[in-house]
Amino acid sequence: MKIQKAHVIRLYPSLTQEEFLCQIGGATRFLWNLALEQRQTWGQRHVLNRFSQSKELTQLRSEVDWLKACPSQVLQQVLSDLEKAFRNFFARRAGFPKFRKKSRGDSFRFPDGKSAPYERLTRNGGRLKLPKLGWVRFRGWRSIPGVIRNVTVRCDAGQWYAAIQYEYDLPEPEKKILPAVGVDRGVVATVAVSGQGRVKGPDAYRKAMKKLRRAQRVVARRKKGSQNRRKSVLRVARLHRTVRRVRADFLHKVSHSLAENQGTLVFENLKIRNMVRSASGTVAEPGRNVRQKSGLNRSILDQGWGMLRQFCGYKTAERGGQCLDVSPRNTSRECRKCGHTAAENRVSQSRFVCVRCGHAENADDNASAVIVKRAVDSGLLPVEALRQHALEAGISVGSLLASRQ
């Protein structure tokens, strides 16, 4: 099967190259905003699409020297991305495209991988050739097994990175015969695996909140457009970058361990975007417990539930496993022994006590076992998968099957 991956490296451009990278980033941002404004103003009256705007781009490049100096393929990719953004909007997969800001960081893509040779120079470094830029040194060497498809360059808090997307053929892996486990994602314990305990996340954002408050307070006191304000904004961006890296590192390690040691991972099909909506309400109908809901939303996003599901998805597929999704309804209120569901079963955030059979344990451990049971109930897993769940619960498979009725 064909696999597409991306390898991220840190670029170390010279002063001339960095200046040209900033120029390309400014040109792509200008073109995106211009094309978006054109569609907003004339889109309903005239048929505007990527092809019609590409013709106008050719004329614009002949009149503007700093646009002509930028690689034409990079500018064409901007119009292609804008077209895709509008398709996602009309299909209700995303919101309306927004204008790009200079402070958000530059990002652009070189679509031709053949024009980007990738060479090794030292143990952990090498050089990458980009159109009109020449050879750019980098750190983070890794042998690429397939064919380079494209290279995306971005600026993150003053540092330049390149994401090299490549494609290679992977032999169809043998199907794993390891047992299935349920994975419950929470706020206090980031991951709870059925029969294997819980894993606590780093809470990277919560730990950095004090530093972020101070840094953002400094930004608010600086004069807009001043050099000191740019330095303060860069300091905030670096703090956010550290938070992202700590979170991603933890989730990569957890997902790698799950994909290596388990055959099937069963998750709750959570609608995270709906779960973290604001509770502020409107002026006519103000929300309740807004501050508490805001803190809960912050904690959910800090755990990276969506990233964990994404990482586990492609890592298990490469190793012959699979990831399944089941309904999340009442998984924290259902007893894994007798199947009784009641709100009174959840005594507290961490304690579960069944009011019917008296079964008591950690609520996250109980929910992870219920998730596996849901997969069998819905036909996603064979009945044999309940054997491990029955052993963990200390009951027979027959009694467990009877509780499903």
Catalytic residue selected from 81, 325, 334, 364: 364
Q: What is the dihedral of CA 44, 49, 55, 59, to 10 degrees?
A: 50
Q: Could you tell me if 77 and 222 lie in one domain?
A: no
Q: Could you tell me if 151 and 189 lie in one domain?
A: no
CA separation for the pair 116, 111 (Å, rounded) = 10
Q: Could you tell me if 209 and 106 lie in one domain?
A: no
Domain count, the chain: 2
- Condensed to tens digits (0 to 9), the pLDDT of residues 3-43 reads 889 999 999 999 999 999 999 999 999 999 999 999 988 87
How is residue 11 written in tokens?
A: 């670029």
How is residue 204 written in tokens?
A: 């990277």
Predicted model pTM: 0.86
Q: Could you tell me if 162 and 73 lie in one domain?
A: yes
330 pairs with which residues across the strands? none
- Condensed to tens digits (0 to 9), the pLDDT of residues 348-372 reads 888 999 898 888 989 999 899 899 8
Closest CA to 203 of 243, 256, 253: 243
352 pairs with which residues across the strands? 346, 361
Residue 405 pLDDT exceeds 70: no
Q: Could you tell me if 104 and 178 lie in one domain?
A: no
Catalytic residue selected from 81, 106, 203, 268: 268
Q: Which one of 147, 169, 191 terminates a domain?
A: 169
Domain that includes residue 77, residue range: 2-169
- In Å, how far are 23, 127, 138, 139, 240 from 135, measured between CA atoms? 17, 6, 10, 13, 30
Tokens 């919101």 correspond to 95
Angle, alpha carbons 243-245-250 (nearest 5°):
100
Q: Could you tell me if 277 and 148 lie in one domain?
A: no
Catalytic residue selected from 81, 106, 184, 365: 184
- Condensed to tens digits (0 to 9), the pLDDT of residues 209-256 reads 999 999 999 999 999 989 999 999 999 999 999 999 999 999 999 999
CA separation for the pair 152, 108 (Å, rounded) = 6
CB-based contact 354:332 (threshold 8 Å): no
Mean pLDDT of 293-313: 92
Q: Could you tell me if 162 and 137 lie in one domain?
A: yes
CA separation for the pair 117, 124 (Å, rounded) = 17
The sheet that has 191-193: what strands, in order across it? 197-199, 191-193, 180-185, 264-268, 322-326
Q: Could you tell me if 332 and 192 lie in one domain?
A: yes
Mean pLDDT of 320-344: 89
CA separation for the pair 200, 239 (Å, rounded) = 22
Q: Could you tell me if 9 and 33 lie in one domain?
A: yes
Q: What confidence score (pLDDT) does residue 399 get?
A: 54
Q: Could you tell me if 75 and 153 lie in one domain?
A: yes
Q: Could you tell me if 106 and 199 lie in one domain?
A: no
Q: What confidence score (pLDDT) does residue 109 get?
A: 94
Is 268 considered catalytic here?
yes
Q: Which one of 140, 169, 198 terminates a domain?
A: 169
Q: Could you tell me if 150 and 206 lie in one domain?
A: no
Residue 105 pLDDT exceeds 60: yes
Q: Which one of 118, 141, 169 terminates a domain?
A: 169
Exposure pattern of 292-313 as b/e (b: 16+ CB <10 Å)? ebeeeeebbebbbbebbbebbb
